[in-house]
Amino acid sequence: MAKEQSAIKERQRTDLREPRRYKVTIYNDDFTTMEFVVKILTEIFFKSEAEAETLMLKVHHADKAVVGIYSYDVATSKVRKATAMAREEGFPLRLTVEPEED
């Protein structure tokens, strides 16, 4: 009888969920050139030239635009790289990482 009881396996519940996603937003300012914004979007966010120009114009007219949705680590890494690149060029470009709304 002891053998029968040990053969029964208890199921454990695992609550697996998708990892949370984060949106990266880029903001307009009066100093960062449009060409530099396109450069950031193509080199760091891997946007096509056309998509980068469309996003740049959206930022210019609406004061901000979401440039991508990533995992937390990827989002913060891209923001750090873009910010460092902007500071090297003397631009005050601002990007933020925020949780995506469900």
Residue pLDDT, tens place only, 58-76? 999 999 999 999 999 999 9
Task: Record the pTM.
Answer: 0.81
| pLDDT tens, residue by residue, 3-20 | 555 666 777 777 788 889
What pLDDT digit, counting tens, does each position of 33-52 carry? Answer: 999 999 999 999 999 999 99
Residue 1: CB atoms within 10 A of its CB come to: 4
Domain architecture of the chain: domains with CATH: 29-99 (3.30.1390.10)
